[in-house]
Structure 1
Amino acid sequence: MHAAGSLKMGSSGANWVFLVLAVSLVVSASATSDDDELMIGGLNITYSCKKSNGSTVLDKELIEVALNLEYLEAEYFLWGSVGYGLDVEAKYLVDGGPPPIGVQKANLNPYYKDIFYQFGLQEVGHIRAIKALLDYRPHCAFPRTLLDLSKKNWAHTMDEAFLATFGHKLNPPFDPYRNSLNYLISTYTIPYVGLTGYVGSNPLLTGYNSKRLVAGLLAVESGQDAVIRTEMYRMKDKIVPPYKYTVANFSNAISNLRNNLSHALVDEGLVVPKYLGAEMKVTGNILAGDNNSVAYARTAQQVLETVYGTGNASKPGGFFPKGAQGVIAASYLDPDDY
């Protein structure tokens, strides 16, 4: 499987046929219908896609990566804002997948509750649109992925970020559900990875419907990220109690961690050295972009490395304790671990 995992995104059609066959040989036959046993992620089902809806097999395999992140965003935004997720808001999109671990309602003021409930509902639409294009259930359009959105996992993520930038963990552990500011900071970690993944996958798509879908998803994910960054930039110098660090410090720590996990400069915080600012004239960085202020791109592998929190697409963890789903994600995983 590691040989299959080493195939690059630009592989020929023949190589991708080989990849699909290789994954089919090692993954289990299908997911059980018992919700108590169903631990969707990684190699629980035989992932496969077929050409349809004006989309190639490769188009669909790339979009499968995004479906994992859309599940994550939907559950986190819905639960954080209103205290329930897809099982209440859109159960038909769950397809028997397990509920997220440790997620809960955040202590949000009315303003942020409104914003993030809107975001959560937008993610419901994204999942529906993706599944309509993928078409082939439960394989290509797979059930909800197992997610870990617990306070413990969030605290670990923030500790890794602060270790990478400031050399020590946060004390007390970070709790995203504690208040509006903490939750806002936590959301900084999510839509941006997805939007860079869409930027990275877009040049590889060939079908009209796939290109149209990804362009539309990218537009809204970028908008969500812009709202989050703008809200945080407005408070960039505010100290985040009970810590001694500012909102900008948090953004830079998270971005540094994600750069480390992606093994590339594809992420920037709210305040940067002038050489990274727009036209090298400013340190304020309300939107992230390269030296032409064009959005950075992540490959599918880099997306997985980042959301796993391990820097390795073969080692699940972080928000995806059993791994992400789909042909590309499964190609990196070792079946002996499942």
Structure 2
Amino acid sequence: MIKDSVFAALELAELRRAERRRFLKMAGASTAAIGGLSLLAACGDDDDDTPSPTPSPTPTPTPGVTVTDGDILNLALNLEYLEAQFYSFAAFGTGLPESSLTGSVGTRGAVTGGRKVPFTDPLVAAYAREIAADEIAHVNFLRTAIGNTAVAQPAINIDGGANGAFTAAARAAKLVGATENFDPYLNDNTFLLSAFLFEDVGVTAYKGAAPLLSSATFLEAAAGILAAEAYHAGLVRTVIYAKGLDASTGLRQGANAISDARDSLDGTTGSQADLDQGVTGSDSSISNIVPADGNAIAYSRTTQQVHNIVYLRTTAGVGGGFFPNGTNNAVAALRTSGAF
């Protein structure tokens, strides 16, 4: 029955992939790529009464460092693996089919954690199933675009136990105490906060990667994925804000705390240190569904900032957090030197 649910999601994803396949046919057998990733929803601080900071500039790789569209595309695939596994488990109770969607170049890593959420709100359950289908479709699309050089899924930690990445993230955000655990699959609310942790990071990452892409065809396709991730992020933010009208849920406060934690993890300083935005404005009665600068433009994150967040670390190095052994791609290796 569980497998039937996953394959039903794959059938739905097939419909969503129809237009994206046309991009690939137009591009031929190109190994060019889309940049970006998808994970963590973005939220922010309660300081909206001051002008929003300007977007952080996207750095150019240092001389002598070659980053191809294929490298960026494989980075995106790593992050789509993470999102697809989380949503697939939460919505259907099982992960991606191993034989067809996670193996390829390199050693396939195992997934730690994950189970079906006992949803009580049918709308949240429906949203989870829809987002899961989209993320599965993104994995399919990226693997097809890359072809035989697509990387295998790395080791992924989506657990809520004592050694789980979600617990570590929740402790960093002070959602739970230093010795308490955070179970993302416990109920509707913990699922929403976990989804919030992922979604906006994906939006900012795709935007940050866009100037680095050389293929116009894949830049257009990347814009399509960015739009889909933005829809997801806006949906999650809207539901959190609406459910947060009941102060007892703690959803608004939790989302804003996650935003603060992301700011502390991404490694930016100075005027760029406070880019992330939560779901409320200067007070809880003002919504902030669209995190953007003073020109209503979404801000960017570099690949290093994104790695800092998903690794749950600000120090140089590879691995940690949601990717215990690091992501499987050439871009991740450049992080150790700060070159990209």
List, as ranges, runs of 4+ consecutive aligned residues in structure 1 with deviation greater than 3 Å. Answer: none
Paired residues of 1:82 and 1:113 also in contact (CA < 8 A):
no
Paired residues of 1:304 and 1:312 also in contact (CA < 8 A):
no
Matches within 5 A, 1:80-99: 80-87=90-97, 91-95=99-103, 97-99=108-110
**Aligned equivalent of 1:61, options 71, 96, 100:** 71
> What is the match of residue 64 of structure 2?
15
- Corresponding position: 1:159 with 2:164: no
> What is the match of residue 225 of structure 1?
233
> What is the match of residue 73 of structure 1?
83
Structure 1 length-normalised TM: 0.73
Question: Residue 78 and residue 219 in structure 1: after superposition, are their counterparts in 2 closer, same or farther (change >3 A)?
Answer: same
Higher RCO, 1 vs 2 (CA within 8 Å, ≥6 residues apart): 2
Paired residues of 1:301 and 1:313 also in contact (CA < 8 A):
no
**Aligned equivalent of 1:104, options 108, 115, 138:** 115
> What is the match of residue 265 of structure 2?
261
CA shift, 1:313, in A, is: 4.7
Give me the whole-angstrom Cα distance separating, in 2, the residues matched to 1:223 and 1:81: 18
Q: RMSD of the alignment, in Å?
A: 2.4
Give me the whole-angstrom Cα distance separating, in 1, the residues matched to 2:230 and 2:307: 19
Structure 2 length-normalised TM: 0.73
Paired residues of 1:16 and 1:58 also in contact (CA < 8 A):
no
- Corresponding position: 1:295 with 2:307: no
- Corresponding position: 1:196 with 2:204: yes
Paired residues of 1:160 and 1:169 also in contact (CA < 8 A):
no
SS of equivalent residue, structure 2 residue 97: helix
Aligned length: 268
Paired residues of 2:90 and 2:115 also in contact (CA < 8 A):
yes
Paired residues of 2:318 and 2:332 also in contact (CA < 8 A):
no
SS of equivalent residue, structure 2 residue 124: helix
CA deviations on 1:26-63 (whole Å, 9 max, x unpaired) are xxxxxxxxxxxxxxxxxxxxxxxxxxxxxxx6222222
CA shift, 1:249, in A, is: 0.8
- Corresponding position: 1:251 with 2:238: no
Letter in 1 for 2:300: A
Give me the whole-angstrom Cα distance separating, in 1, the residues matched to 2:323 and 2:262: 16
CA deviations on 1:65-93 (whole Å, 9 max, x unpaired) are 221110011000010011011127xx412
Paired residues of 1:62 and 1:300 also in contact (CA < 8 A):
no
> What is the match of residue 272 of structure 1?
281
